[in-house]
A and B are shown apart, each in its own frame.
Chain A
Amino acid sequence: MIDAIASLGRSSLNALVVFGRAFLFLLQVLASLDIVIRRFGLTVVQIYSVGVRSLLIIIVSGLFVGMVLGYQGYITLVNFGAAEALGGVVALSLVRELGPVVTALLFAGRAGSALTAELGLMKTTEQLSAMEMMAVNPYRRIFAPRFVAGFVSMPLLAAIFSAVGVIGGYIVGVGMLGVDSGAYFSQMQSVTDWNEDVLSGVIKSIVFGFVVTWIAVFQGFNAMPTSEGISRATTQTVVVSSLAVLGLDFILTGLMFGTG
């Protein structure tokens, strides 16, 4: 019994220590952000490897999610004789919720895990130490550009996801189920509000991008310098950032739509 309480106490303390380290790490990275302006090229390379390499999975998933939404939306709406409203339903679900959330989950799995593994390997093979000994600050040279790349790519990927999803809904709704093409888009325009829907989706995806990238980069930095350490950190990145995204989504949705 006492042992159980003691181990609970110990693991909460450990969690607190890790969180503290993650926070200090974030501060150090933020203090190094001037490198992004001074040597923009470093960040561009990272945007390519974090963002562009995630494009395919984002486009394919967006297409399928949009198509499923087209189906499900149609089945429900046609009962009320409101099949023309399909465009609005598809767009709202994507822009407000599914775009940011699903993109963030995919981003954590594709780009986040890759970031953690890359940085963990750099740490294990002493590349980060070697850089320090060459008087190159890894926070500036390595962490800050990756952090900014993740943070910038995520909202763009979410926007692409939503746009492709709208096309997916169109393919199913208009192409296969016979909803009027003009109605699909005019409904979409009249129902979606810029501030209420689009902007809130963008804010969500910025927050998710920040959190997922923070977790991924920190896990790589903090990994035990062994091969098990790297694989454990990679798994942790996916698990922790997925949970963080879903939890934050609940909180953000409450904040944004709860009062309005």
Chain B
Amino acid sequence: MAEPVAEESPHIVIENLRFRRGRKVIFEDLSMRIPRGQVTTVMGPSGSGKTTLLRLIGGQLRPDGGRIWVDGQEVARLSTRRLYALRKRMGMLFQSGALLTDLSVFENVAFPLREHTDLPEDVLRTLVLLKLEAVGLRSARDLDPASLSGGMARRVALARAIALDPDLIMYDEPFTGLDPITMGQIVTLIRRTNQSLGLTSVLVSHDVTEAMTISDHVVLIADGRAVDAGAPDDLRARASDWSAQFLEGRPDGPVPFHYPGDSYREDLLGVRERRDD
């Protein structure tokens, strides 16, 4: 099953990725490698396209240029059937959890299993309870998604994402909006999931502290490019201008505080001209 080179080859390779939304260029020339079996965090300021990147990797969006390979397959070139087959081996945790609101917690975790397998009911039940136990929510199985707290919803979403035993899991901002205790639980879960299932984890985050402690590998993105990459300690030691600003949370620096536009003075004096281009 596993080819000899598969161990060393990166799980995801991105080369010269270009992507824009309307006129706004989100990725200019992004290249990165995501090693297999490790926790990789992609960090970047809000609005730098982290969610977009995950959607590109999952094949929900198509790049305008450049290539993305997952497991040696070029995502944008796959037929729908192949793409779906690839997605069965990827789990994704959305920023909001994205649980199906008309199903109970149990049925949410059972959902991918019911859709993709013909398991007998008792086997399915065992599997679902196993996954829920792993995230500590076995007893919450009859609850409605609406009655879960943010942290619980994210844990259910994690149980659902690992239901099909994927070999890649992607987390979109898993730490935002959580209290310190829940945050700790999620950090432990991500780490434990990565070790026990031996899968590749990709996190997208702007929480520097958590991301640095949890990751084996960090990629910093800004202005549509990967500006720095490496092990957390190396990054801290090396501290290029940009990384220093981001990692230490300074408000101004290479990343400007102001949204690009006309100068303040022109705006105040009302001499702002219309720019049609």
Instruction: Please report A residues at the B interface, Cβ cutoff 8 Å.
Output: 121-122, 125-127, 129-137, 141
Contacts and interface: CB of A to CB of B under 8 A. Distances in A.
Given A133-B58, A134-B160, 15 more contacts: A121-B101, A122-B100, A122-B101, A126-B94, A127-B99, A129-B94, A129-B98, A130-B92, A132-B58, A133-B60, A133-B87, A134-B88, A134-B111, A135-B84, A135-B115
A141 B115 contact: yes
A40 B112 CA distance: 19
B88 A127 contact: no
Interface residues of B, number: 22
Contacts of B98: 125-127, 129-130
Interface in B73-126: 84-85, 87-88, 90, 92, 94-96, 98-101, 111-112, 115-116
Closest 7 CB pairs of A and B: A130-B98, A126-B98, A135-B87, A135-B84, A133-B92, A135-B88, A126-B94
A130 B103 CA distance: 14
Contacts of B99: 127, 130
Q: Chain A contact residues: over half helix, strand or loop, or mixed? A: helix
A133 B164 CA distance: 12
A237 B210 CA distance: 45
Contacts of B112: 134-136
Contacts, number: 52
A134 B87 contact: yes
Contacts of B100: 122, 127, 130-131
Contact of B101 (A125, A132, A133, A141): A125
Which of A129, A134, A136 neighbours the largest number of chain B CB atoms within 10 Å of its CB? A134
A126 B96 contact: yes
A121 B145 CA distance: 14
A136 B99 CA distance: 14
B35 to A, nearest CB: 22
12 contacts: A122-B100, A122-B101, A126-B98, A132-B58, A132-B87, A133-B87, A133-B90, A134-B164, A135-B84, A136-B115, A137-B84, A141-B115
Nearest to A133: B92
